[in-house]
Structure 1
Amino acid sequence: MANFDRILTPLNVGSTVLPNRMVMGAMHTRLETLDRPHERLAAFYGTRAAGEIGLILGGGFSPNPEGVMEEGGPLFNSASQIEEHRLVTQAVHGAGGKIILQILHAGRYAKVPHCVAPSSGKARINTFSPHALNNEEAWRTIADFVNTAELAIEAGYDGIEVMGSEGYLINEFTAAVTNQRDDEFGGSFEGRIRFPLEVVRAVRARLGGAPLLIYRISSIDLMDGGMPASEIAEFAKQVEAAGADLINTGVGWHESAVPTIAASVPRAAWREAIRNVKQAVSIPVMASNRINTPEVAEELIASGAADLVSMARPLLADPDFAKKTRLGIVDEINTCIGCNQACLDRIFTERTATCLVNPRAGREIEFPMGKASTFKRLAVVGGGPAGMAFSINAAERGHQVTLFEAESRLGGQLNMAKEVPGKAEFNEMLRYFNVRLHKLGVTVRLGEPASADELVAGGFDEVILATGVTPRVPDFVGIDHFKAVTYVDVLTGKVVVGSRVAIIGAGGIGFDVAEFLLGDAEESLDRHAFFRAWGVDPENIRHGGLTSGRSHGKPRRSVHMFQRKDEPLGKRLGKSTGWILKARLRKASVTMIAGATYNAIDDEGLHYTVDGTSHVLPVDHVVLCAGQNSNRTLYDEIKARGLNPKLIGGADVASELDALRAIDQATRLAVSL
């Protein structure tokens, strides 16, 4: 069994002793926008405290109205709000945990018309232009930070974290690219770092020595005009001198053109930037970004790059992450796969966060726990994400489950998804499902297609069909030509396509196939390959940590993507990851053609029409990614025998490889029985 002595060792931070080195990082959830918001937040954080995480960073809450993330966003600036926050702190303390309030002023990222910044200049990710704070307003904002910090302690928080990273207001003061001031808060390096130092000093003076004071520093800005490593190290020293007990590290700005937390980023990729901070100070330093397993956390601390680790999304995926590590059952950790589909993509589209692999996240009050009142014998047909998720949740409720899978292994379309460069984390998902099915005693019958006769005669109380989808084959001349293959043929290795390829369909599957045909898996597994591909200087010698250019190797294939809709290709990809996919395909010179009508496939290639003009594209293969059809053959047979089976996943709704909807639906059905 792996040794996790370092991350399980207590740590003295200021006047506080943390029971282990694992921290839940602050994240936006938008739970405050739902009904019973504080009950939801209390259940959300209380569940993670019960899971033995060493410290929870909650928030971030703005200290004033102009600093909120969006209209109605989290704001804590009045004593009238204290009782609401006490519901959260009492839940955490009652579960044996500790919680910090993060104070976050969004600066020019605030999606409100009255947003502010150190200098004028609109962020490219915001529609509003900021008002440049004058000197008096800057000092007033510092006082607002102090006010919120004091309110947080009154509400029972164990301390506060000052958010100085990710391109928010404080980070905008420290970077020359967003600070063109010539007063005491700008100009020289000393002027640019004065605002955050004054915040830390003032908060420390008001709170005294006992409550924890954490500062989150931008360890690498990934922006032209950002701070170089030498300035960041000196700044960290001064943050320590100003009174911080611990320095947390952030990576990049939200408008950076470099991915920082998606699955395409290698695990613990940013250790050089974090180590630069660690070597500069004597107080503990916390690492963050793409740390999703105990092994990665242990190795990172062992390397000397950090003293403890912050994990936000991994605590969405499994609130018992720390407890399972202590108990030595790390194979049962439901690992964050870095997909961003249910967390960041939802936040960026004004919805509440949850988790693809754990639909209970953020919805704790909606899901009953414990055993069912009556146990049933259940047959589940289909071992893809829906079938596996249902089987696990039903077995946890005490039901006797038999899972039929026609193939020789579980996984369904996950087995294709994990072959796509940047999606290797799906292996963790499959590992978790397999381990839990075994430990829960689910009967798994591999290589056994379930028949209607068997299901009808089997004495099952319920039959759940998770039989998935089949590729939709469009109807036009030559669709049966040998050059026409489906995405299943390609991703399973049944067909090895040639050097010139057309892809019909530009949804998520189409882009995944393009990545598969072009991508370099090393980029998401090796941080040095990742840095070369994205033009990153991990040592951050130049301002902002960017190099003069990216590496452009010769593409493995010539790929052309087509769609019928006359709109930009990839328009409906995930908000937080779609731009990464499109950027990589542009780098590989993929052509993208919208508004296409498909005429024929023949020996010459693909015949198509755009804007009334006919074209012929010479290609070796045409990959069909034109959607899916629900596989309901067995459903129809069973219905004809008088049973009423339940459909889940793709068998219910044939959407693209949508594990998010499938797992959510399966979980809800399992807990409703």
Structure 2
Amino acid sequence: MPLNLFSPGRIGRVELKNRLVMAPMALGYCDKGFVTDRMVEFFRLRARGGVGLICLGAVQIDPIRKTDYDMVNMYDDTCLPGLQRLTDAVHEEGSKIFAQLLHQGRYARSREYKGMEAVAPSAVASGYTGETPRELTLSEIKALTAYYAAGAKRALQAGFDGVELCTNSGYLIGQFLSPLTNQRTDGYNGDLYARMTFLLEIIAAVREAVGKNFPLTVRLGGHDFMEGGNTNSEARRIAGELEKVGVDALSITGGWHEAQVPQITMEVPRGGYSYLGRGIKEAVSIPVIMSNRMNIAVGEKILLEGGADFIAMARPLIADPELPNKAQQGRIDEIRPCVACNQSCLDRIMTHTAVECLGNAEAGRESELAQGAYLPTQVKTAHPEKILVIGAGAAGLEYARVASARGHSVTIWEQGSQPGGQILMASAIPGRHDLAELINYLTCACAKQGVLINYQVTAGKEDIIKKVEEGDFTRVVVATGAGPLDPKIPAEKEARVVQAWEVLKNRAEVGSNVIIVGGGAVGVETALTLAEIGTLDSAALRHLMLYRAETPDELYHLLTHGCKKITLVEMSNSIGKDIGPSTRWSVLARLKQHHVKIMKGAKAISIAEEGVNLEIDGGQVYVPADTVVLAVGAKPTNSLYHELKGAIGNLVLIGDASKPGKISDAIREAYRQAISFGSGGSIPIQKLFD
């Protein structure tokens, strides 16, 4: 059991039962800024799950520049009753809650602020929005300072246990701190200490509004990761000044949204930026909270080594609200993992769609799914069935997990020798190994709930019908997944043509000069997998760096130059368009880093023994290659379902076998189907998952 994480802690005068903090993030659960049942029940379950402190993110304090999207209203008193409901719910479950006060500054998009232009320290164009803000006047700066103070006072009135100021990620206060965006010629600019003036004035105003006993923390970027911006050296100096003026704790995260350094995507190592928090902790004596790609093991290690005092997580607690309780009880293998895919959380919030979770179909639906105080997976059915699931991929395992939790007897037949389906293939891609954790979780959950998984079983129509007729099963669920599409491109007999799926499963040999046909997610991931073959691995890199055996430029060359020449061919004019926006930019950057040649608007019309004929710009081009990899999509593998249809009664088709899609689609559909029978019709299932 993690010992340090579950020791009590203190921020200011607030006692916390453990060292776990739910980090702030926008969720999209409010209604034009007002608290909803959805928000209350979401946070109630996280508090019930054992987290010591919740920090409510995206709380807007400016009554003039405000948006109805995603952010919570704390700019007038109409918000107070709803916020009091929220804080009461969290306190009833034994946790504390802070409110993070945020102003987007130049990160506000005019179309989302009813046409109002963004404001900032200076009129410096935003790479995040593509717009140029207006420079704030002195009177507006004074007004904003008062808005922060008024917001903090409302937080106190609404029952919050403290407030946090957002200075990180390139938002307004951080824009004042940075020489890149603060080009003023008055007292708000100059050296680092002058650039802190706005922040220090806000802190003074907040203290006057709420008193010295109400905890005040600051969320601080440990490194902007912007060329010419603040580094950890400046962050340490800022931290020292904040301690001097009475800030109670510092919550450390990574850089700006504009930064070209991935910070929370799957490729980022767990705790990869914890050195930033350690640098801050060396400069102050007040508590330091560290975040970015955390899990229980990494968090415990950081605390043990003295790198921080608290560990903050956001997405892991969306994935599993019971994470703290499970960890404290030593049930680590029962924690549903966050795999940092971003496809159901950050990608959705970027399009102003409510946050969900790839692995947790209940996330954000707690208030609608709950029957009394219990979710469907916590309620046993009055009509248990004997269920056969065909396929142990993500959909099959999730269906089995949910159905067995509800009291049904479940058996899985899997054709392969291990569970996972396509996730096994996806987790082999560089930087995506965390996906395997989801299968480990599902397999463990099924085992603990008595699900029997039979491997290397070929499911046939007659065997299944016989089992159903003999009463061994009352319901059959087909989760046989999908297979790769064959585009039927004419190819010479001697040509080496393989499917991307076989490459990713390490079942196909490829040569040194490879053309990949298809520039969607699978094609891009295959290109990166092949491009990394022959590059320097992390152990060799560490050794060479420690002994300074090579120059930094040479080491970078060895990291990014493999032994294969890769060309990615795509018919449309967009590469990786089915990859989420929070991840796509970094994936495309890695293609460039690894010198993958990209040909857009190109159609493969025939494959020769030593190359491919492409149609591009109305003409034909021949591109030499010794191997052609096809990555043009997927098709359902569902012939068994059609053979069984009409022959047995309760027959269900789920996951990619129904319609190829994302992992989150398969998990959500499996969950929906698994709770849709035996519930007495009390849950509006279809409406919830439309």
State which of 658, 663, 666 in structure 2 corresponds to 1:662.
666
Q: 1:297 aligns with which of 283, 296, 299?
A: 299
Contact 1:38–1:87 (CA<8 Å) still a contact in 2?
Answer: no
**Residue 242 (structure 2) pairs with residue 233 (structure 1):** no
Q: What's the TM-score once normalised by structure 1's chain length? A: 0.93
- Matched residues in 1 for 2:478 and 2:33: separation? 33
Contact 1:11 1:20 in 2 (8 A): yes
Counterpart Cα distance in 2 of 1:484 and 1:453: 36
- Shift in Å, 1:189: 1.6
**TM-aligned CA deviation for residue 453 of structure 1:** 2.0
Question: Which residue of 303, 308, 311 corresponds with 2:310?
Answer: 308
Counterpart position of 1:98? 96
Alpha-carbon distance between aligned partners in 2 of 1:335 and 1:11, rounded to the nearest angstrom:
25
SS of the residue 1:408 aligns to: coil
2:516 matched residue in structure 1: 503
- Residue 613 (structure 2) aligns with: 607
Whether the 8 Å contact between 1:422 and 1:521 is mirrored in structure 2 is no
CA distance 1:40–1:550, change in 2 (3 Å): farther
Cα distance change of structure 1 residues 317 and 582 upon mapping to structure 2, 3 Å threshold: same
* Of 488, 494, 504, the match for 2:501: 488
Q: Report the CA distance shift for 1:523/1:22 in structure 2 as closer, same or farther (over 3 A).
A: farther
CA contact (8 A) 1:165 1:216 kept: yes
Q: Could you tell me which residue of structure 1 aligns to residue 279 of structure 2?
A: 276
SS in 2 for 1:297: helix
User: 2:77, 2:319 → 1: CA distance?
Assistant: 34
Indicate how the Cα distance of structure 1 residues 640 and 479 shifts in structure 2: closer, same or farther if over 3 A, else same. farther
| Matches of 1:515 and 1:475, distance apart in 2 | 25
Q: Which structure 2 residues correspond to residues 357-376 of structure 1 after superposition, within 5 A?
A: 357-368=359-370, 369=375, 370-376=379-385
**Are the counterparts in 2 of residues 468 and 649 from structure 1 also a CA contact under 8 Å?**
yes
Letter in 2 for 1:321: L
Take 2:343 and 2:650, find their aligned partners in 1: how far apart are those partners? 32
Q: Does 1:394 align with 2:409?
A: no
When the two structures are aligned, how many residues end up with a matched partner?
651
**Residue 123 of structure 1 pairs with residue 129 of structure 2:** no
User: Are residue 16 (structure 1) and residue 7 (structure 2) matched?
Assistant: no
Deviates most, 228-237 or 84-93: 228-237
In 1, are the aligned partners of 2:60 and 2:72 still within 8 Å (CA)? yes
- 1:635-650 alignment, distance < 5 Å: 635-650=641-656
Change (3 A) 1:89 1:240: same
Q: Report the Cα distance in structure 1 between the residues aligned to 2:72 and 2:535, rounded to whole angstroms.
A: 39
- Structure 1 equivalent of residue 449 of structure 2: 440
Equivalent residue number for residue 440 of structure 2:
431
Distance 1:386 1:36, change over 3 A: farther
Matched, 1:288 2:291: yes
Aligned-pair distance for 1:128?
3.2
Q: What residue number does 1:552 align with?
A: 557
Q: Deviations over 1:464-514 (max 9, x none)?
A: 111101111011211765511011211111112111111111111111111
- The 3 A distance-change label for structure 1 pair 313 and 403 is same
Residue in 2 aligned with 1:201? Answer: 204
Instruction: Please say if residues 33 and 71 of structure 2, whose CA atoms lie closer than 8 Å, have aligned partners that are also in contact.
Output: no
The answer to whether structure 1 residue 570 and structure 2 residue 576 are counterparts is yes
Match of 2:681 in 1: none
Aligned partner of 1:89 in structure 2 is 87
Q: Give the direction of change, closer, same or farther, for the CA distance of 1:35–1:413 in structure 2 (3 Å limit).
A: farther
Aligned position for 2:392: 383
- The answer to whether the Cα contact below 8 Å between 1:43 and 1:364 also exists between their aligned partners in 2 is yes
1:361-390 CA-partner distances (Å, limit 9, x unpaired): 111123242222321111111111110111
CA distance in 2, matches of 1:471, 1:34: 44
Cα distance between partner residues in 2 of 1:383 and 1:204: 56
Question: Structure 1 residues 478, 353: closer, same or farther in 2, change over 3 A?
Answer: same
Deviation digits for residues 423-457 of structure 1 (CA, Å, limit 9, x no counterpart): 01012112111110110111111111222222222
Cα deviation, 1:581-635, whole Å, max 9, x if unaligned, reads: 1001111221211222222112122111112221222112111111111111111
SS in 1 for 2:579: coil
Structure 1 residues 184 and 37: CA distance shift in structure 2, 3 A: same
2:49 aligned residue: 51
Distance in 2 (alpha carbons) for counterparts of 1:316 and 1:467: 28
Q: 1:289 to 1:621 in 2, by over 3 A?
A: same
CA–CA distance in 2 between the matches of 1:325 and 1:55?
A: 16
Structure 1, 259-268 or 126-135: larger mean CA deviation = 126-135
Once residues 562 and 586 of structure 1 are traced to their aligned partners in structure 2, the CA distance between those partners, rounded to angstroms, is 14
Q: Partner of 1:135 in structure 2?
A: 138
TM-score normalised by structure 2 residue count: 0.91
Asked if structure 2 preserves the Cα contact closer than 8 Å seen for 1:265 and 1:527, the reply is no
Residues 204 and 632 (structure 1 numbering): CA distance in 2 closer, same or farther, change over 3 Å? Answer: same
Gaps of at least 5 residues in structure 2 are 111-115, 546-551, 678-690
1:153-172 aligned within 5 A: 153-172=156-175
1:176 partnered with 2:179: yes
Aligned 8 A contact 1:13 1:284 in 2:
yes
Which residue does the alignment assign to 1:514?
A: 527
CA gap of 1:75–1:37, structure 2 versus 1, over 3 A, is: closer
Task: Give CA deviations for 1:314-350 in whole Å, capped at 9, x if unaligned.
Answer: 1011111110011010111111111111011111122
Distance in 2, Cα, partners of 1:31 & 1:548: 47
Which deviates the most, 555-564 or 30-39?
Answer: 30-39
* 1:48/1:319 contact within 8 Å kept: yes
Counterpart of 2:324? Answer: 322
Is 1:622 the equivalent of 2:620?
A: no
Q: What residue in structure 2 maps to residue 588 of structure 1?
A: 594
Percent identity among equivalent residues? Answer: 34
- CA RMSD in angstroms, aligned pairs only: 2.2
Bigger shift: 149-158 or 610-619? 610-619
Structure 1 pair 635/80, CA: closer, same or farther in 2 (3 Å)? same
